[in-house]
Chains A and B, each alone.
Chain A
């Protein structure tokens, strides 16, 4: 199994590096020192509430990728903040069905980034998720340990 994840991640990395193919616009690789954890910078293209803002997302891959979904969070540190969005908690955790029960092994790092870009682009109001403060106080930092309920299809 590990072989499958290694081979696929190497291919994806070559694409994101621009070694083979071109990375999607608005997405650039910040770091990928190994095949377990990558960081990418993400910008929302076109007119949106997030124009001019730059975010960073962190991907963590298990040995069962792509059969199992990667753990994806927005980076929150001195340099980056999580976008203010009804599906993104201020600690960076993302509530998106494709990262949970709608994951498919044909999805990829760039496909997830594109989904996050379009999720932000279609946002009508910058608003934190309901119950953000309470969630952030108690939530584990590993999104895989959170059971999200996907009840809002509007953004």
Chain B
């Protein structure tokens, strides 16, 4: 019996390197790990860092912050992914850029990190 490959699609899986899940990146290559870990979620909106900003329908065009291209598939255009990466604080806490800006812009924030209430300073990445 012969098998003839008529067509094939390549699929890439990506996630932000938040520095919190080094071990998982190795073990999760099978893609079976769908469990949401607290570490992978933005503490403010509880959406994974890879998801779009909660006020945007799709990551990309609708998000005023990212001005990014939403690419539907081919690896060839992977370079066009320009999602805004999560924002890292010097205190090591990580949030969606959008979510953190919403908090920091509110009077209640007093410029503090939501996690440890220390003055928020964005880390250089």
Interface of B is mostly: loop
A68 interface hit (Cβ, 8 Å): yes
Chain-B contact segment, one of A82-90, A99-107, A123-131: A99-107
CB distance from B99 to the nearest CB of A (A): 7
A1 interface hit (Cβ, 8 Å): yes
- 4 further A-B contacts with Cβ under 8 Å, apart from A7-B47, A106-B43, are A4-B102, A66-B45, A105-B103, A106-B114
Interface residues of B in 25-82 (CB under 8 A from A): 43-47, 54-55
Which of B44, B54, B106 is within 8 Å of A3, CB to CB? Answer: B54
B residues touching A (Cβ–Cβ < 8 Å)? Answer: 43-47, 54-55, 99, 102-103, 106, 108, 114-115, 117
Nearest chain B residue, comparing its CB with the CB of A108? B46
Enumerate chain B residues within 8 angstroms of A4, measured Cβ to Cβ: 45, 54-55, 99, 102
A67 interface hit (Cβ, 8 Å): yes
Q: Could you tell me if B44 and A66 are in contact, using CB atoms closer than 8 angstroms?
A: yes
Interface of A is mostly: loop
Enumerate chain A residues within 8 angstroms of B99, measured Cβ to Cβ: 4, 105
Which of A3, A7, A68, A105 is within 8 Å of B114, CB to CB? Answer: A105
CB distance from B52 to the nearest CB of A (A): 11
Enumerate chain B residues within 8 angstroms of A3, measured Cβ to Cβ: 54-55
- Please, what's the 1-or-0 string for A65-79, where 1 marks a CB less than 8 Å from any CB in chain B? 011110000000000
